[in-house]
Amino acid sequence: MNGHLKYLLWAVVAVMAVSPVVAQPQMADMRAREVLSSDAFLVSHPDMRYRQLGHRAQAEGRMEQARSYYQLAARYADKLSQAALAEMWWKGQGGPTDRAMAYIWMDLAAERGTPYLLYQRERYWAELDAADRARAVNEGGAVYAEYGDPSSKPRLERELRTGLKRVSGSRTGSVARMEMMVRDPRGARKVDADAFYQAEYWEPTKYWEWKTAELKRIGHVKGTVDVGPATRVARPAD
């Protein structure tokens, strides 16, 4: 397995962490981890929440559940979850092997032109036989209609707007600075409200810029990384 692919599989489980606008990287990383691992944050970011649940299920050998969680994350435009689904279809993890469907999901993961995802897509295509290539072309449109960015991005943007109103208590989404309490595996604790409410976590345009930058950052790192233990997240009501 090549280095980019091995890193990609680890990246599927990583919580996006460091804000590029914070001057002190180590402090930014610590504050970001506190925010991004909290239930208060994840409940409004189903792309990240379901991806983490998918990784946990996969790590524990619950492959069928992992597929389901990654597919839920995929509905909210999470490209790493779409790539994870592609790998599971390709390898027959959690269900049958279907290389045409694997190609469709990897093609979708590469929708934004991310180089290492495009590379994986082309590698898949090269290994498909004629029948699977025809199926991929014929069946891909239905998957794109449901999970492509034109459909899945607005889904997440609605969650971000609703979530910001919920946590801020504002009908307009404006944020009053306050003492912020969140819950994570260590229990209830305070976090930096400025870190929690920074625009790139909640304002749709900035959020997509942040996730695009993270995809590019992952692509520039070769080999594997140790992302630490999976973070506990609340099981979604739906």
DSSP E strand stretches across the chain: 180-184, 187-191
Asked which of 37-41, 74-78, 106-110, 229-233 is least confident by mean pLDDT, the reply is 229-233
Contacts of 172 (CB under 8 A, 6+ apart): 165
| Cα–Cα separations (whole angstroms), residue 228 to 33, 105, 120, 238 | 12, 27, 25, 28
232: left (phi over 0), alpha (psi -120 to 50) or beta: beta
pLDDT digits (tens, 9 = 90+) for 39-77: 888 999 999 999 999 999 999 999 999 999 999 999 999
Per-residue pLDDT, averaged over 222-230, amounts to 37
Is residue 147's pLDDT more than 50? yes
Per-residue confidence (pLDDT) for residue 192, from 0 to 100:
66
Per-residue confidence (pLDDT) for residue 36, from 0 to 100:
80
d(CA 23, CA 34): 17
Per-residue confidence (pLDDT) for residue 13, from 0 to 100:
40
d(CA 86, CA 88): 5
| pTM for this model (two decimals) | 0.76
Mean pLDDT of the chain: 78
